[in-house]
Amino acid sequence: MKYKNALCIHPQRKEISDIGIVPPLGLEHIASAIKDFVERIVIIDMRFENDALAFIDNTTDLICISINWWHEEKEVKQLINSLPKNVKTIVGGRYATENVDEFFKDCPNIDIIVRGDGEEIVRDILQEKPLTEITGISYRNNGSVIHNAPRSLSKVMDNIYPDRSLRRYKYTVKLQDLDLGIEWDTISSSRGCPFSCKYCDFSSNPHGEKRNWSARSPESVIEELKTIKARYVGFTDDNMTNDLKRVERLCDLLIEEKIDKIYFINTRLNIAARPDLVEKIYKAGFRVLLVGLESTQDRMLKAMQKGFTTKQAMEWAKVLNRYNFFIHGYFIIGNLGEKEDEMMQIPSYARKLGVDTLGLSQLRIRRYSPLLHVIKDMPNYHIGSDGKVYSDEYSVAHLKQIRRRVTREFYSLPHILRIIKKMILLRVLTPNLFYKGIKGIVLVIKKMIKKRRKKINSVKASA
């Protein structure tokens, strides 16, 4: 059977971060995977659209929806329930995989939920393979929900990547509500992670299977990069530099093909153990390194199974700082057993490492996190309805206060000037963008002042 008209929907209306709107890459992979079985495919992003129903007509016979985040859950379910019940509706994505039964219960017109990697599974479905024989799906059968066995995940495919001719929108970098007009794109060159950090919850879902690290060939990645018009490209890989020989081959091809772009990657600091490769990475265009540092304390890093110490981090950072990389360091506020004075060491520690910007997040435990078993034995720790962890000693409000203090201490005026200088050297900051950036900062400050005044007035009114 060949379907006539497939509608692929990214259902969330708001971005989860303030850096800009990220292309729905997973959904675009699914769209590419089903091209052989559908006459027409339309991809819509509800961050740009008001009404999904406007894209449905009497030829629409397939709807695919990707749900990866917990925010706007109520609104997403309302959107699903507004769709025609007579059209086959397939839902996938990380958040749907974590909450299969809830989505079936709250959304009666969902036919199938794809758990985990979806490209192979959705092709099996559209080829009319009996549902009982398709691993990695949950589906309705005579009023019951059937959970088939998890699918053994095969190697990431080289030949399926987004067909950007199907894309209806331009994705740009934003500063709060200000669009800087910098077009950017994303690419997935590998999936999974070989590590088992304690706060990571990928491996404990009974409906899924932990994705071991698997990568596309460098040649395949190059072919996709040739289709990307944007100059700034972010790799969505959890750990893009896991296989250093592969990274070296990719860099050689980028240099050989003279593909002139600036790349953002998630990496571990231990790439600095290969100074020769670090030089090649920089030459190939990799300029922004997103690094999980998590804590300033060795005992915390050991408990998380991060695989390095603060001393090693310092040594590796020296190698990276020989080049003009822009380093974004991720830290967790409120690690189990961590004290306030230790959290407040983040600004000085990060600056010593040469970190340019901070990504601070409060410790959050999701449904299948291994830390759930740890917290059971720590009665003074609690998990909020949003998954954020707090304790009798450090409330949610207190942890927010610590986070704000860390931010204020890190972003001193000299450090901000250093960031501006580096962005100019990276050819990211032009005079026009500098003006827009200043305008954006002013808007952010006004927003903060307005929020502060509203809070003060609320306190006065209740006094």
Reported as a single tens digit per residue, the pLDDT across 14-27 is: 876 656 678 999 99
Range with the lowest mean pLDDT among 59-68, 148-157, 441-450? Answer: 441-450
Residue 203: the pLDDT is 54
- 170-429 maps to which CATH number? 3.20.20.70
Identity of residue 201: D
Residue 416: the pLDDT is 86
Comparison of pLDDT for 323 and 463, the residue scoring more: 323
Residue 307: the pLDDT is 86
Distances in Å between the Cα of 424 and the Cα atoms of 181, 308, 427 are: 17, 32, 5
Comparison of pLDDT for 369 and 214, the residue scoring more: 214
Place of tokens 């879902």: 205
Q: How far apart (Å, rounded) are the C-alpha atoms in residues 62 and 37?
A: 11
Residue 115: the pLDDT is 93
Range with the lowest mean pLDDT among 51-65, 113-127, 154-168? Answer: 154-168
Q: How far apart (Å, rounded) are the C-alpha atoms in residues 36 and 41?
A: 11
How is residue 95 written in tokens?
Answer: 């958040």
Q: How far apart (Å, rounded) are the C-alpha atoms in residues 332 and 361?
A: 5
Residue 301, SS3? helix
Residue 172: the pLDDT is 85
Q: pLDDT category, 292, cuts 50, 70, 90?
A: very high
Q: pLDDT category, 418, cuts 50, 70, 90?
A: confident
Classify burial at 22, counting beta carbons within 10 Å of its beta carbon; exposed 0-12, middle 13-18, buried 19 or more. middle
92 Cβ partners below 8 Å, 6+ apart? 26, 30, 64, 65, 66, 67, 113, 114, 115, 118, 122
pLDDT, mean of residues 196-219: 72
Which percentage of the chain shows pLDDT scores above 70? Answer: 87
pLDDT, mean of residues 34-61: 95
Predicted structure pTM score: 0.86
CA pseudo-torsion sign 268, 270, 274, 276? positive
Residue 236's CB is within 10 A of a number of other CB atoms, namely 18
CB 429 within 8 A of CB 175: no
Decide if pLDDT at 204 tops 60: no
Query: Quick one: DSSP state of residue 227?
Result: T
pLDDT, mean of residues 287-315: 93
Place of tokens 């410790």: 363
Comparison of pLDDT for 376 and 294, the residue scoring more: 294
CB 10 within 8 A of CB 44: yes
Range with the lowest mean pLDDT among 39-53, 265-279, 437-451? Answer: 437-451
Decide if pLDDT at 411 tops 70: yes
pLDDT, mean of residues 233-249: 93
pLDDT, mean of residues 139-149: 93
Identity of residue 115: R
Residue 8: the pLDDT is 97
Comparison of pLDDT for 21 and 334, the residue scoring more: 334
How is residue 108 written in tokens?
Answer: 């009666």
Q: Which CATH architecture has domain 3-147?
A: 3-Layer(aba) Sandwich (3.40)
Residue 213's CB is within 10 A of a number of other CB atoms, namely 16
* Beta-strand pair 190-191/178-187: unpaired
Decide if pLDDT at 202 tops 60: no
pLDDT, mean of residues 369-380: 84
